[in-house]
Structure 1
């Protein structure tokens, strides 16, 4: 295609000399047809109001941007759904712990915390298991139950088990090469008193049932003549779980 030829605009009022036009102002008024525009709008030239200025931003945008892209954190849209408790686990049920420090120990279930974990106790005086949180995936509910109507567990929540983080002190030049002294974590007296307050009414109800104290103190294990396939389904799962851990 042939390139388009540029057409130069012709001035309606060419200059005779610099600053002096060929036609007068009144002549150009009729030449440009302004009289017709004025007559069409009732003897007044149409007026176009200026557009309102855009509101200024509250914060000025930065003049300089970082060289590297800054990642924006994603908005967490997840909603907390409460963990559904197993039907076999109810307040006062004796549970068998499957893994961890107290593997094989029998404990008493007190309540479910807001995080979904189970609040259990040995009691500590009987089998050495203190107040602690356990995931229900690592316990088995038995048919044995303990009366916990006299136990007050309202004050226990997830914050009760939170560890206190101590700020690390900055070392000086003289202390830089000194070895750090290992301090033993001493349990606060307040938590010891809480343990005793929970265990006292619980032990009374345990001692009221014959052989229940001995049952809780004994660690769960297989004895001669016991066959896993003849036990209930929950105990069969327990042995299968132990085999998986050992393998």
Structure 2
């Protein structure tokens, strides 16, 4: 770059109000100009003999003599005007974070092939290896699936998308809509309340809680199953499709999942 062009560029940036540093670092953390050179560049020699007037501030008293009545108090006492804090916080104050940072409000992303009506293969849990039908994706990001129960004994349940394989087999749900009350709160398990009055002897007598489905769950399961079986029957390969859902998934020797199309 020619020196004239460089000067024009500097003039332009000066007009815009850009500030250029008087000194800068070279490689290895060495400054371009020494202390003596910067003294000249800043023209500090002009201020050499100049003395700025010393402004004397009025002294503010820290203590105060206070009169105290009573024969045994000594008459006077010196007291600090600004009292120091009696208690200091042991921990710095943590500001409240915005609610959008909560995990419950994070955006949920589901795999493209996991759409309502898709047949999934469960890879974990007590129903491992079973083929189930995906009904809908819940607000928590979990998948609502069912066997149906009448075919392979898999009830309405929530499953993480990490533990399923999405197959190419699909059921056309059509006009069937999953009831709105079948959400995350519906599957939340209620814990039995402990009595505060109970003594130590009850700890050994307490039995392990066992989940038992209530009448509402049984009713919902029958309704969903009835609608799904109707849809499966209407499938072009309905007879074989119901058997396909009944059969368990398993891999034999020389079968590799990464080479298979489901």
Unaligned 5+ runs, structure 2? 1-84
Alignment CA distance shift 1:168-1:136 (3 Å): same
**Residue aligned with 2:205, SS:** coil
Alignment CA distance shift 1:170-1:217 (3 Å): same
Please give the per-residue CA displacement for 1:9-29, whole angstroms capped at 9, x wherever unaligned.
Answer: xxxxxxxxxxxxxxxxxxxxx
Q: Note if 1:138 corresponds to 2:163.
A: yes
Please give the per-residue CA displacement for 1:120-160, whole angstroms capped at 9, x wherever unaligned.
Answer: 11111111111111111211111111122343312211111
CA root-mean-square deviation: 2.7
Specify the structure having the higher radius of gyration (Cα).
1
The TM-score normalised by the length of structure 2 is 0.57
Distance in 2 between the 1:229 and 1:207 partners?
32
Distance in 1 between the 2:114 and 2:86 partners?
60
Please give the per-residue CA displacement for 1:57-93, whole angstroms capped at 9, x wherever unaligned.
Answer: xxxxxx8647x72564553331633212211111100
Distance in 1 between the 2:233 and 2:246 partners?
12
Q: Note if 1:90 corresponds to 2:95.
A: no
Query: What residue is the counterpart of 1:167 in the other structure?
Result: 193
**Residue aligned with 1:185, SS:** coil
Q: 8 Å contact 1:82–1:114 — kept in the other structure?
A: no
The TM-score normalised by the length of structure 1 is 0.60
Unaligned 5+ runs, structure 1? 1-62, 236-247
Shift of residue 172 of structure 1?
A: 4.2
Among 221, 226, 230, the residue aligned to 1:204: 230
Specify which structure has the bigger relative contact order, considering alpha-carbon pairs within 8 angstroms and separated by 6 or more residues.
1
Query: What residue is the counterpart of 1:218 in the other structure?
Result: 247
